[in-house]
Structure 1
Amino acid sequence: MTEVSAKEVSDLRKETGAGMMDVKKALIEAGGDRDKAKEILMVKGLAAAKKREGRETQTGTIGHYLHYQTERPVVGCLVELRCETDFVAKGDEFQAAARDLAMHLAAARPRYVRREDVPDDAIEEAKRLFAAQAIEAGKPPEVAEKMVDGKMGGFYKDTVLLEQQFVNPEKFDGTVEAMLEALTARLGEKVTVGSIARVALGEE
């Protein structure tokens, strides 16, 4: 059987957010190959999340964060983090995740939770802007169209919470969506974000 060190387990656990025993088993199964172990953990996490897709998330908590400047709050963020039971909602890991997501909001400034939440007019406005930029740069129409498609991917990463890279890679290295999937796998029940709010002094 492949021997894995405590440091290998600790490093991969920090990177993936998976449980210690799950990480150790994945490393052993992968023969010590870190990348393969990550794939194993991802597949297991996605499978666990898939099983819970149909479940209702009717309880949870509100994660909150205030960013201070010269001893006064200038940015305030709220995240509605949902789960299935009060037992999980009151747990330290769930509460910490809600606060971490609120802090992410302060730094990353997402406007929507998921891609389908983005209004059609906001999408069309972004496409028009990117098309105008491509044409102004002298690109032919067919190239401009491909450039618009590429830039829209960046638009969603800038504005959609689930598609953003989590701002604290030391806690989780991946997208917010992957972070929620890992949390779902660890806690044993579905975890979702309901709504978000960010208020900043002087911003409209």
Structure 2
Amino acid sequence: MATITAALIKELRDQTGAGMMDVKKALTEADGDIERAKEIIRTTGIQAAGAREGRKAQEGLIASTVVEGGAGQIGYAVELNSETDFVAKTPQFVELGEEVVADVAKAGATTAEEAEQAQSKAGTVHETVEEAAALFHEHVKVGQFAKVEGPCVEVYAHRKSVEMPPSIVAVVATDEAGASVAHEAALQISAMGPQWLKREDVPAEVVESERRVATEKSQAEGKPEQIIPKIVEGRMNAFYKENVLLEQQYVKDPSKTVGDLFKQAGGQILAFARLEVGKGEE
């Protein structure tokens, strides 16, 4: 039987990030063969990750990147979840997020499912994340995903505190002229959380539901029947101003809207996405 030296243990720990006892056990089972021991640690880690899948993983980070595309730029944002913020803020977890979003961008993924199947050094992003779960001893998973394309793409990553990785990311696509105010739009999106770009983007069923609620509320308040339609329109406009980006008051100057901001710049915002850690399963 091979002698399991302290140097061998350190070498395997440095290569895998596994715990002392896991490394010693794997080296003993592999009779000192470090490559075989790495395989054992990987297999054990994946099995353990499967056992952790039922546990809540709603902490984590949002990793993002912008790459050049055929018709301009493409922005990607990927949520990587852990069970605790202690793990989320480790350099290894942040590095994992950067690795995942780079693999996703290289694959040109368009959905969260495609993102998980993107090729990585471990095989796929899904397999990379599974292996990472063994290192962190927590359930780790890919959460929300966004892809935004346009002539110009701006990303703003918000950190809730200096020691934590980004927990909110806003990605904005604009035309060339709109790029001058794209950062301001990204800040607005991060802070105010609009759901749609313009009024026409709000689904018909959402409009119908909001209008019905506004009508019933006005009736319950005993408003005169003849003025209820006007009250409902006022409440619908308030709904749009809260949830539609171009109709929101610009946070730095409430005398104008975000739409006014782009008009003054002579440009357009084409699309946006906002991801926030832990919000994907709501």
Q: Is the alpha carbon distance of 1:18 and 1:55 closer, same or farther for their aligned partners in structure 2, counting shifts above 3 Å?
A: same
CA shift digits 1:33-68 (9 cap, x unpaired): 456434422331122112211111122111112236
CA distance in 1, matches of 2:10, 2:123: 18
CA distance in 2, matches of 1:10, 1:108: 33
Counterparts in 2 of 1:71-150, with a 5 A limit?
74-114=73-113
1:161 and 2:160 are equivalent in the alignment: no
Conserved? CA contact 2:103–2:118, under 8 Å: no
- The structure with the largest alpha-carbon Rg is 2
Match of 2:138 in 1: 189
Q: CA RMSD in A?
A: 3.3
3-state SS, counterpart of residue 111 of structure 1:
coil
CA distance in 1, matches of 2:136, 2:18: 10
Q: Is the alpha carbon distance of 1:68 and 1:47 closer, same or farther for their aligned partners in structure 2, counting shifts above 3 Å?
A: same
CA distance in 2, matches of 1:43, 1:36: 11
Counterparts in 2 of 1:47-58, with a 5 A limit?
47-58=47-58
One-letter amino acid of the counterpart of residue 85, structure 1: T
Conserved? CA contact 2:117–2:126, under 8 Å: yes
Q: Is the alpha carbon distance of 1:88 and 1:2 closer, same or farther for their aligned partners in structure 2, counting shifts above 3 Å?
A: same
More strand as a share of residues: 2
Conserved? CA contact 1:27–1:34, under 8 Å: yes
More helix as a share of residues: 1
Q: Is the alpha carbon distance of 1:28 and 1:186 closer, same or farther for their aligned partners in structure 2, counting shifts above 3 Å?
A: same
Q: TM-score scaled by structure 2?
A: 0.44
Q: Is the alpha carbon distance of 1:12 and 1:60 closer, same or farther for their aligned partners in structure 2, counting shifts above 3 Å?
A: closer
CA distance in 2, matches of 1:105, 1:12: 28
3-state SS, counterpart of residue 102 of structure 1:
helix
CA distance in 2, matches of 1:44, 1:80: 25
One-letter amino acid of the counterpart of residue 52, structure 1: R
CA distance in 2, matches of 1:7, 1:110: 40
Which runs of 5 or more residues in structure 2 are unaligned?
A: 152-282
Higher RCO, Cα 8 Å, sep 6+: 1
Match of 1:26 in 2: 26
CA distance in 2, matches of 1:57, 1:12: 26
Alpha-carbon shift at residue 191 of structure 1 (Å)? 0.7
